[in-house]
Chains A and B, each alone.
Chain A
Amino acid sequence: MLFLYPVTMFDRHTLETIFKEHHAQCLVFAVHYTGNEHDAEEVIQQVFLRLWEKRATIEISGVVRSYLFAAIRNTAISNWRKETVRREKENVAGTFRMADPVVQSPVWELERSYLQALAVLPERCREVFILSRQEQLKYSEIAEVMNISVKTVENQMGKALKIMHKELHEYTNSMQLL
């Protein structure tokens, strides 16, 4: 169910409420795509500023968080593309990937293995897996954020689970993970 937000209804109070309600979650989410808090905060500022500027016509589905996460993802990727073009001109191109999750485990070897296993996953597969296991998003939310079908999320999670299980086989058999 989509609806329009007339200018007169979307006031500063509404923006402030939404910002303060979701800022902390948005920051954690944005760091996955930017790799650091500073750039993540910049992305959040861009997203909310655009939300304010487009308030007359912007369409938001029921759950605000999903809308914000999708906007943050798109903005972060767009920023990265612009940065890549700039760097290519300077011959310093790189490849985009989500920032690795920081796993704070007392078992160093296990932590290293977990990150290595994540690195083995194909890019989209890893993104889906991290959004599910670190951000704790539901399949429907991941689908909305990444603009893919729920069925694709299911398939990517199955693929990720199979690879991760294979990579972490010796640990899952011997001890409680994380």
Chain B
Amino acid sequence: MLYSDEALHALLCKYVLSEAGEEERLWVEEWLQSNPEHPQLLCSLEKVLAEIPRREHTPNTELAWQRLSAKIPGQRKFKMWWMAAATLLLIAGGWWTMVREGRTQIFTGPLLAQLDDGSSIKLDSGTQLQVLPGFGKRQRLVKLKGKAVFNVTHGAVHPFIVRLGDQEVKVLGTQFMIDYRDHLRVHVNSGRVMVINGKDSVLLSTGMLLESVKGVFNTAAHVINADKKELVFSDTPLREVLQTIGVVYDKKITADSVLLQLPVTATFTGESAENVLAAIAYMTNTIVVQYSTGTVLRSMKNKI
């Protein structure tokens, strides 16, 4: 295949920045071996593409939030007598509540944990759930290790937060599954959740599946049931279909760029990755090509 000078630079740029697809990477690797000057050129381009150092900023996020918060209507302005009444109420409420709230409740699966706010959590065998002190009163914070299906009540004052090591899932009223054994996996049956890991956050809605491996988020949509591998596509672009299959089956799958917008309508339940790919290849008039680094759907026109 011949490339113009600019197209060659675009391709080498993708290669250096890990944006190239499987086919493109193979092409560049062949190109590198075809002439001893090519590796020198690539090395030279890599220097141009080195990250530009960032300007050091020292943002005062707390102050900025206070500024923003002051502009938002509906601020709670406590008057003195309200504060006094609240203080009295706290004293009158007595030490008993404080003692009760000061305990961490621990549930170990398999069981169905019913929490004070009405939420229920079905824990798998060996899964541990800690309900932190003050749950439902000061916050709705739990810690999880293992796998569980959550049914969280709506409309509470505090958001429901599931802490998973240094990551957390913030629930916006919903039913969802968390699998936090080898790596984090979240599937939303209904409603919305936000997943946060300190570097980024992702909002998941119904049918979305997230996998977090080494802090990198991968998301897929159109997943009705993650465990049963129930996938429903309706005029879905092939690009999204392959993204979903990649996350659900933990495989790296790409396709020729001209194919990525092809619409796919299909329903799969409990099928193997091979069967799903074979069906999609049939529907899109493509062939499945296996490489050592992943799978590529190729147009029949490119077969030869």
Contacts and interface: CB of A to CB of B under 8 A. Distances in A.
Interface of A: 1, 3, 5, 8-24, 27-28, 31, 37, 41, 44-45, 48-49, 52, 60, 62-65, 101-105, 114, 130, 132-134, 136, 138-139, 151, 154-155, 157-159, 161-162, 164-165, 168, 171-173, 176-178
26 contacts: A3-B205, A8-B155, A14-B172, A17-B170, A17-B196, A17-B201, A19-B68, A23-B65, A27-B57, A31-B57, A63-B202, A63-B217, A65-B201, A151-B257, A155-B10, A157-B13, A157-B14, A158-B8, A158-B9, A158-B11, A161-B12, A161-B49, A165-B45, A171-B47, A177-B48, A177-B50
Given A1-B221, A9-B173, A158-B10, A37 B68 contact: no
B204 interface: yes
Give 10 nearest A-B pairs by CB, closest first. Answer: A158-B10, A3-B205, A177-B47, A1-B221, A158-B9, A23-B61, A134-B52, A162-B9, A9-B172, A172-B44
A10 B7 CA distance: 45
A105 B53 contact: yes
A46 to B, nearest CB: 10
B5 A162 contact: yes
B9 to A, nearest CB: 4
Given A158-B6, A168-B48, A64 B64 contact: no
A94 B48 CA distance: 30
A24 B199 CA distance: 11
A103 to B, nearest CB: 6
Interface residues of B, number: 57
Contacts of B25: none
Interface string B64-103: 1101110110000000000000000000000000000000
A49 to B, nearest CB: 6
A65 B5 CA distance: 34
Contact of B51 (A11, A18, A114, A136): A136
B5 to A, nearest CB: 7
Contact of B55 (A14, A24, A31, A171): A31
A171 B201 CA distance: 39
Nearest to A52: B72
A162 B6 contact: yes
B166 interface: no
Q: What is the predominant secondary structure among interface residues of chain B facing chain A?
A: mixed
A14 B53 contact: no
Contacts of A23: 59, 61, 64-65
A49 B72 CA distance: 7
A146 B278 CA distance: 36
A14 B159 contact: yes
Contacts, number: 162
Given A9-B173, A132-B17, 19 more contacts: A1-B240, A8-B155, A8-B173, A12-B69, A23-B64, A23-B65, A24-B61, A27-B59, A31-B57, A45-B71, A49-B68, A64-B202, A114-B52, A133-B49, A133-B51, A138-B19, A159-B6, A162-B6, A177-B50
A45 B52 contact: no
Contacts of B159: 11, 13-14, 17
B219 interface: yes
A139 B257 CA distance: 15
A1 B247 CA distance: 15
Contact of A28 (B17, B57, B194): B57
Nearest to B222: A1
Contact of A161 (B13, B53, B68): B13
A131 B254 CA distance: 25
A1 B158 contact: no
Given A62-B219, A154-B14, A20 B61 contact: yes
Contacts of B19: 138-139, 154
B10 A154 contact: yes
Nearest to B6: A158
B48 A161 contact: yes
A101 B55 contact: yes
Contacts of A158: 6-11, 13
